[in-house]
Amino acid sequence: MTFGSFIRTARERRLADDSRFSLRQVAQRIDVEPAYLSKVERDEVAPPSEATIVRLARELGEDADLLLAMAGKISSDLAEIIRKRPRLFAQLIRELKTMPDHAILRLVREVRDGDW
Amino acid sequence: MITLESDRLVFSFPEVHDDARLDITFQRTLRIPDDDRTYPLPPGLGQFPLRHVDDFGARVPENWRPRGGVMLPMFQSEALWISFGRGSGYPFAVKVATGKINAVDGKPWVSGLAQGPQNYMAVPPQPWLDGYCVAKGVIRQFVAMPLGEGYTAEEQITGEAEHGGIQIVAYPMKREFYERMQREQEPRAQWFGVPAPAAARAVSSMGLAPGGRMRQHIYDDRHGLDAWDQAHGSRCFIAIANSLHWRAITGEAPPTLPPTARDYAKANLPWFDYYDETPTVEGAGALDKLLSVVGMGKKKGKAPLPENESADAGVVVPLGPGKPGPRPVREAMLE
């Protein structure tokens, strides 16, 4: 699924229950022109900037990292993390690429539950 | 499992279902006046920072270390609300306590879920929790007070100042119930929707006490107890550090104090009301009997809440599936 069709589907799903998710109103809330958002939804123009994608994700209740990835972008905070230790993270990501989700989740730091 | 992601507690249960994920944040807000009035919902003013207690070993009080969990900073007499944030829409049963006193039924912390009275919230539809459920449709706001001075719900109910902080456990819906719900194409609930190290003994622990009255419903669980997968709950202890000590513990500045309710109202900034036609639970008698911070202060001959003047909430924005308002989120932008 393309970036445009994904956000159009997500917006129209919400529009079915709530008229505030019309193209015009969503465009107004994320501070772009309706005509531009329409073109984005039809994949006639390149995906918008990171900041606009993050606003759009928030508006539609979608995951910003997912939308950025679909737009071929990476969030600036992640880019900064990689820039600080490029070799380490490049190696790590390559080694994780074929690992199943549940195994990757085990690498994530959990909040420790102790004795209370 | 629980992870900490950008000041959000993320409860996820991939062993139950890929969608079983719940984000919980702690929102900064105004302290509503602790007077005779019942106020609408104050805004969210951003998230409290959250940090792993384990990362600050000797800088935190000794009794925090065995508990694990996370910590956040609050000024004395500052308020907060807990947001059960936008997520996958997967249903959860969430139990919240302060000082190990359940904020919904007013009873001491026990493991597991119960009904008659209901001791948890079903999320959705519950979008947030601002305080103790003292009556049907009314809560008393969570207000931070130092442990040991007798104001907190824990101290008023147990007579002890042992735990403080906030305790949360979340249970996902059983996979088969969720999949049945999806097959029945039930509409998804809408989501509406922060110098030198000090000696640990100098860091004071905070607890939460009942503050001003606010209109807020705790919704009945329409799924029933059997819907929840109590074999897969995850729990977290959230310790509360006095903001004055936050920098000494973490090296970071705490958030600034929010405006007073009166200043906020004078600026004509929005308050909120949430409309949902789901039936709601009764208030807990044990919680309704608690003295509010001002009430306890009077008993002690003290004035514990500065700037407690009444406020007139002028602009009240309706939220929620029962009465869609112009804004889908409960936030205010302060210049």
Given a cut of 60, is residue B20 above it in pLDDT?
A: yes
Mean per-residue pLDDT for B288-301?
94
Q: How many domains does chain B have?
A: 1
Interatomic CA distance for residues B132 and B191, integer angstroms: 22
Given a cut of 80, is residue B332 above it in pLDDT?
A: no
- The answer to whether residue B302 sits within a structural domain is yes
Compare A108 and B226 and report the one with higher pLDDT.
Answer: B226
- The answer to whether residue B182 sits within a structural domain is yes
Closest among B168, B169, B139, B164 to B153, alpha carbons compared: B164
| Subunit contact B68:A105, Cβ cutoff 8 A | no
> Hey, what are B256's tokens?
């600034």
> CA dist A7 to A38, A74, B36, B55, B188, Å?
10, 17, 47, 39, 18
Least CB-CB distance to B3: which of A17, A102, A108?
A108
> Hey, what are B98's tokens?
């302060």
Q: pLDDT tens across B148-186, in order?
A: 999 999 999 999 999 999 999 999 999 999 999 888 865
Given a cut of 90, is residue B217 above it in pLDDT?
A: yes
pLDDT at B322: 58
Mean per-residue pLDDT for B86-94?
85
Q: Which of A111, A112, A113 to mutate to test the interface with B (most CBs of B within 10 A)?
A: A111
C-alpha distance from B301 to closest chain A C-alpha (Å) = 34
Interatomic CA distance for residues B20 and B18, integer angstroms: 6
Residue ranges of domains in chain A:
3-70, 76-107
Average pLDDT, chain B: 88
| Subunit contact B14:A61, Cβ cutoff 8 A | no
Which superfamily, per CATH, for A3-70?
Answer: lambda repressor-like DNA-binding domains (1.10.260.40)
Domain that holds residue B94: 2-319
Query: How would you class B149 by CB atoms within 10 Å of its CB: exposed for 0-12, middle for 13-18, buried for 19 or more?
Result: middle
Instruction: Please report the ipTM that was assigned to this predicted complex.
Output: 0.73
- pTM to 2 decimals? 0.76
* Helical packing angle, A3-15 and A50-60, nearest 10°: 30
- The answer to whether residue B332 sits within a structural domain is no
Mean per-residue pLDDT for B140-152?
95
- The answer to whether residue B324 sits within a structural domain is no
Mean per-residue pLDDT for B125-144?
95
**What one-letter code names the amino acid at B204?**
S
Interatomic CA distance for residues B98 and B74, integer angstroms: 14
Count the neighbouring beta carbons within 10 Å of the beta carbon of residue B86: 19
Q: How far apart are the first and last CA of chain A?
A: 47
Using a CB-CB cut-off of 8 Å, the residues of chain A touching B70 are 111
Compare B160 and B190 and report the one with higher pLDDT.
Answer: B160
C-alpha distance from B224 to closest chain A C-alpha (Å) = 26
Interatomic CA distance for residues B52 and B65, integer angstroms: 10
Q: What is chain A's pLDDT, residue by residue, as a tens digit (116 residues)?
A: 899 999 999 999 999 988 999 999 999 999 999 999 999 999 999 999 999 999 999 999 888 999 999 999 988 988 998 998 999 888 888 888 888 776 776 677 888 888 88
C-alpha distance from B231 to closest chain A C-alpha (Å) = 16
B-chain residue closest to A19, CA distance: B324
pLDDT at B129: 96
- The answer to whether residue B228 sits within a structural domain is yes
pLDDT at B239: 96
- The answer to whether residue B177 sits within a structural domain is yes
- The answer to whether residue B314 sits within a structural domain is yes
Compare B233 and B276 and report the one with higher pLDDT.
Answer: B233
